[in-house]
Structure 1
């Protein structure tokens, strides 16, 4: 199994303000916080607010307040992606100059014949009346990496992903580009996040290579599942965690991550519970592979 990154360790939690913090996001926050503290490192919060149509007014502030109620605050000023458009534009300009980024007018209908993947030349002609999306043209190349928890994982980008969007038709920069630029800017040495993003990692590693950016280590955590077997998400209106009574959800998140604490900690503050959990947090204790967890039951 891959050893922890060399010091100084820098990790992060990067929520999107599309709703309140739910149990699945709490697991990712706690897991990333514990990993940073166990490695003697720095833990940062980045608000990924580059998708205005999906964002909910006040959600970002509510998420930050909820994290604070659970004893987790950023060691450095919170980074807001809406302030980072110049950096993303510079990365897009670099990719364009390298012949990697290109404008694309293809619709979903145009790509239906290839299973929704953009492969090779565009099927739609340039249309001066419409704004294009910008895609990254990927090679016939398998990107392989070792996840700290799940082990080897790889993809042939051309065959499994296709040329992917890095700036949307609406003008918003896409997650795949923004996360790579920001992880490098913040000096992130290890990305700890949910396993639903495992298959995004090869794209991000490839962009790091093309942009000559450092590659962090990756640790993907198992997903918290609802009673219907689907991962918990804000978009599904999953029940938010209660910042006014954080201990039940915090203990459930720690148990999900394989951290066993004595019953006496139920009466302590969230900050004290988290401090006690640092020495008990072990990668080998995190359940794998993915398992279904009835998170609502765990919180009752």
Structure 2
């Protein structure tokens, strides 16, 4: 157990900003990123020149070797297996990423993309009418991205997980299961899943996790369109707003308040258009109600702030 002096020293050390890197260290980091970019560019050029001459198995093996190489480079750059998974989460949460861990996160992200490309290469059946290759690639990329994020959480890894998850859900529902009408509800559920996972600590970059959840949920709600009726879209969008505000009550993230307000605004506008056919009177009423609610909220915030100061 730490006494008060030791605890204060730890808190002070964690609160100190990261020292400004020296020019040599900054140049080395830039060179590492540039090298990774050039490596990727060279790989793309090689594939473009010899893709048609390569067999399916050859393409698969090539991408797998690239993924393995990038993974090994990421593990070595991060400091070995002992620095990944739980140690990476406990270290990244208070202190953020170092130059080495940022570069390792890039390696893991590129490895996930390579895994997706490997799946696309080996599962490509050459049938353009029923091409499910991109769906399988999205699923494989999602699994690899989740593994990479679990090993070393990063914003880039989170964005990959969000993108691959949206593509996988859309592809599985529309292309594999043949229920394209459920793509909207599927994305809505996926968005709620992202919000819940972020709230319960499965995502380190909480603001980005909430942002992914809000965007996916609103996109899913807006995609719900049974028999060309508008009301399911704005009702579900309003539900997204309610969920955002409900989570905001226990986790004061600005993304939740902004996302909830944006979803509520979109739902209100669509509802007015659906009910009144763009009536100016109804639009004015919504404007007045919004101004009144804003005024009441501002008054309550000011009053609560004054009471806190008096106490």
Shorter-chain TM-score range: under 0.3
TM-score calculated relative to the size of structure 2:
0.21
Larger relative helix fraction = 2
TM-score calculated relative to the size of structure 1:
0.22
Larger relative strand fraction = 1
Higher RCO, 1 vs 2 (CA within 8 Å, ≥6 residues apart): 1
